[in-house]
Structure 1
Amino acid sequence: MTTLVLLTATGLGLAALYFLVASGLSLIFGLMDVLNFAHGAFVSIGGYVGWTVADHLSGTFGLVGSLLAGIAAGAAVAAATELAVIRPLYGRPLDQVLATVGLGLAIPALLQAIWGADSRTWLLPGWLAGTVNVAGAHVPTVRFLLIGIAVALLIALRLLLGRTRAGLIVRAGVEDREMVTALGIDVRRANSAVFALGGAAAGLAGVLYGLYQGSVSPGDGTSLLVFAFVVVVLGGAGSITGTAVAAIAVGLVQQYADYASASLGDESVVILLAAVLLLRRRNLQGRPA
């Protein structure tokens, strides 16, 4: 029983990280039709900026400061990327892919030049470094922090997109850009806001990933980005709820498979993706759609 609890808690912790990264990807691709391969670099930037703040401050104050700094850094870099790189390339998807791939390679190299290639250890506040007893299993407290923040982000995004004027403008701009522009609404500002929001979620994920593994390194964002793309495909681009469900499925499947065999974790995610894609190709009668 304790093993099941630990595996489930670890899987949900990973799912929270995948959701934080994938939610930004899903928004940017689903609402703006931009496939952003630089998104993993936003994660790494948030992680290093957050680590730098935490390294100069201590305790809970340092933790809160690092979270806020990671969010701000991710949002700022994402907004600058949309303005300088993506905006001139709207309507040119291949050029967007090439530009974001190049940016996704350049930013980790820049981070390595500034902070070095070695991992930087992240010291947790005392209350976060402990464990919580759940059904006899000692679950690291940081897992619950990740899960709580991911749930809060899910609720906030659903409210933002469904209940606010800004969210309605973004959704309307996706459906009919010309009509929204004719009403005097600047769709470019909405696009920048979506990109910044996705970058903020990525920066937050970078800080939390550092807390999760106890260190930050230049390649953190790249490793998370692969699974985030899988989550977006499974959950559906633009669907925040679908992204959350897919993240939970990927996180749990990966952890349970890892327990069965150390080499099955990543392979199980690929198998899950292939199975879902095959099922989607069939209609209710079981024939190819």
Structure 2
Amino acid sequence: MSSLDTIKFNISDYIRRKYIWNELRDYEEYIKREKQVLEKEISELNKQHIISNISMVYCEMGEYKKAIETIRLLDNYELNDNMTFIYYINSLTYYIYINHEENADYIYDVSHCIMKKFYEKYADEVDLYNIRYLNFKGRYEESLEILKSSRIKDKNDDYTNLLLADIAFNTNQFDEGYFLINEMCREYGKKNPCIRKQIDTLINVYITKIPVEKNEALEPASLDKKLWDKVKNSRIKTSLFFTYLYLKNMCKVKSVKYVVIPTLLTIFLCKVFFPLVYGNTYSDVFIHLISFIFLMYFAGGLGYITTEHTK
């Protein structure tokens, strides 16, 4: 693979596939495209990342056995420390989800050294890893001890909140656990299948006497999602779709939104409209109007960027 091909793989195509997974949430299409990439001549490390990502998507789909079958493919590779770290975190999670205690114990036992090595760099991830295992083993008091010195309470993501709710229900903090589950149920239908399964498990085990209203309304399909469903089977249309996404996301960047766009707009207006009014009584008015709009937009944007940066 040439250097240019490597760059294209690592940046362009990789980002597109991740967008299909994380934003469009088209899991089947993501897996199909990743498996196609695996058949190409790419580096061993890239293959390992793809295999790991596919396993994570299967997990999000609630297909835990497929996730395990996929992550086990990494046993055929010599993993570096980073990939070993990811391998252990994912494997432990999958075995816990299928309640396979023997394999979960084994993964946790053999992972101590690598977790210790990465703790300084990824303290939150290691804390969550330990808490997930301790909760699984019913050692909730030990999980509480980790929470006292950890920052993971600030993460406020579904996977973390599920672990925190589990701890709360088992350490005489029912109200806290109920609150966390109730909050997640407000957008139950928008969660991925894995999250919904874990929510249902906690409700069935711990919240049997108090009703929990689950909002099962699905997230409305966005314009991007509707467009994607129409173009994903066409290579040319797919390329145009991602070009549109790139431009749209670029417009959200503050420097582009408040500097580049007004500059280009000013140049466009001057080039197109100024010749039409040049030489008549309205030319000076037009010039001053365009200058005023540009300066107000630019100054306001610059002030906004500066304010946000100093917060």
Larger radius of gyration: 2
Q: Which has the higher strand share?
A: 1
Larger relative CO (CA 8 A, sep 6+): 1 or 2? 1
Compute the TM-score of the two structures, normalised by the length of structure 1: 0.22
Compute the TM-score of the two structures, normalised by the length of structure 2: 0.21
